[in-house]
Chains A and B, each alone.
Chain A
């Protein structure tokens, strides 16, 4: 492998022009001086010409000419000249000369990444940075939801009770699929939280976000708790970094490996424990509340059930509706559960219809996830909708609630009866008025899907 005296990373916001102009300029400047150079570009098409660890180790110096994050923490311990991308274009010759002259700052492990992060933070508007950090969490969470959801859905093909050894449908392979899928799903909230925190505070945030997310998930807060713990963990770590700045530099190693993780996990953990505490009582309170409406009109009951199921998709409020449904089912009330199931099936289908009808306004991976959600929705795996909701809860959740409400209200109007607590459309053979039930769910899902698509369209046009 060739050795390079200088290595460079370039990047700009759009990733079409400046990134490559800086690459060209620096390559030309190096060529003039007869210096070996490798330039890594962070463009719209992704990272090209990626620097290997070996090349980073062997290089004399690093030039960063970027207006975006090019992962400078990789260059810890190297001499770095860090400038804007336009400097890279305009002053390529001077930069190369400076790098060869021994100019630049030797970066220290955590300190460098922090300094950069803070600079970036100051430049970004708050709204944009919240969105970026949320997206960081959501994009890492997505494969967990898809893999877990699809495996669980497949296990239902052996029957919706196939994972229960006490049931006649039990099948060992299906039970394993269900268990494996369950593990993937259970990582969802911790991963969401961890990578939101990582987006905010880089590496030191990761561990704190993970633990906070586990506490949120264990406490039954659902994905909304995961979002809270992610942001909490990220800012706790940023706070610690600030607070510990006065400590002597010799303690830097200790900070990264000991102080940030221990203190960060402790503080975030305590706060998350306090926050998850009332979840059980919220859950019970909602169940009592719901029980009072058991016999009210289809419209009122449907709206309440729809909003509850779609509000936190797996959190305390959704669980309250679901558990009430199964409890009433045990007492022989099969119509209440029909509405709950409809409201739980609708959200993933809403995302499915949104990407089907408004595909070009979604990112390619979102589009694929939306299509997978047709499978997850049809098998009552509401979690499929979470990546969409977590990205933009304030706008997406009301749409989900509306769509689920429509599905539940119509289900109650049609007097559908569902005698199974799970399984989605796979239990259709035992559903009374099954066709009407599907119609009710499709009506809610399409209405929600169109709305979600329109919101996405408006969002993407405004950027």
Chain B
């Protein structure tokens, strides 16, 4: 069916995707498509209040409804010691509330019934008597003395403070600021937004009453880690838990955590002896599952008289919601925010963060981002552009002047990160040429003279992705490696099994291409399997742009292992010495006699039929890859906007995105990822907002209030590239899924601020909506 079916499908070939075949026919298998025999349906009752004490829960009317099998309350869960669960950040989270509700949308009770309609009908008959308490909706409010104590369940917790975290050199930074020629400050709020994948979260828990085996179908980006968490939480022996992540309709970080619904459905299936399905509706997804950002940031950048950056100081207040449930490596309370020095050679930096409980949904996830890299990138790129404005330097020039130079790599940043590779001036150069920067600047000047409001924004981001190394990065102690198991059948066709899990990234194609390159078996002959913990090797999952950096490396390494065994087999078949054989993709041949050759398929057949004496039969292997370092993708994005003075409406005229993600395995898929990321970045910059009123009601609880870019708003993108291979990755690849969402918000906002800068406007917090732009222009008397 594919125009590229005839191609070998090695690295660098844009072959069409293998997984398309089922999706194009409506034959994908998403969670809600599964129907199991005797399957019951679960609906969750959620709190309408942000903060309230539960006085009573009356389930009598609900239990009496036709079709209702069971009503589960927090009290019932408590009897099984499951009313609370541990979070990925070392805190606890209520599964079903017993004492208080702490955010609007919190899980209070659940109904299991024969049909979804019956479960939802009965849920609405549960009566809960609440005593409403003061709602706290910001860190500022959380730290006021006399504020309500949200986590009165925690022994020793006297206030709403969760953690204090620091990185860098405080004294050195202070000293540098004391000598600064100029200090530029930016106060900005990166608001709460939500990954909102088109498919919501859900599960079907199926606990076998006889064997006790729990098979849980789940929309999970990290099925293996979830299995271990379930074993620890529920006390089920780990071999008795099988997590199946079927096709996933987008994740973007939202499908990393363990949600209470999964635990309740599993407990219900265990108690009832029937499969129990739970699928969120959109409102449940937006108001209760992993949100992103919600960071209040203050950055100070010190400059010398020549515009050279001498120090960076940052403080953030993090709004973590009612439970500290951020999905991030356990040693990193503020994620990887200390990448905040970005692409710049800043000699010293000091970063501090404080986390606070609020009466908002818990579970900060990295929405298409590697653990808070997005917030860090946004802050430094906004700060650098504002610095350029303040000192009257061109925004490209201040960046070029301060970039870490290509010859400085590997580069150790002021906060201790070792950047593996980069060529920032080159990416900047390609982007500016593609944009026609000099011409565009003249055009902007000319149009401004005519009274038009127009501007250019630049962002030169650096990411840190591909966690581990395992000694530094772990999730609940699980080291962040990943794995690949490769089995070549007698006829030379292969199955590759991975510990990661695609949510649309095209793993079935990309990872087959790595085998095609390294072992020489055409990509079409390599079946990629993921998302079944009984049938794939252990891995930490797909998020934080780690699949290609980690599982991709594992795939290359296992392919190479098998190639070495195939070399022995080929030598046996050719009656030649191993060291006399040369490898050319797909075959071994005798040095100097290319006509004497054996293909990888012939070697595979020999592994089962004609072995050298003493060799173990078969051609298969497994590799667990613990990366020596993170990878550091980067790029320069340049945006041109026009602003309508009368309405404040912003129109993105151009968006040039030059990405360097190292070696590109399937360029078509890479560009698809970038286009998708630029769109989500656009949404975050201009549209997407989860906010709360004073009572803690979530505003943004459906797709009419939580605005996602559609085809009419989304700009057209102009994509460019540079290639700086990672020196430590076996293929030189770096990961790309999130670069565009990390890098683009600052580029979009910088363009708007550049457009408004002639009027003395230096900041508008995201989302940069028309009303905010109009109000800013009006405050300066530009519009009426």
Are A and B a genuine interacting pair, yes or no?
Answer: no
Q: Which residues of B contact A (CB under 8 A)?
A: none
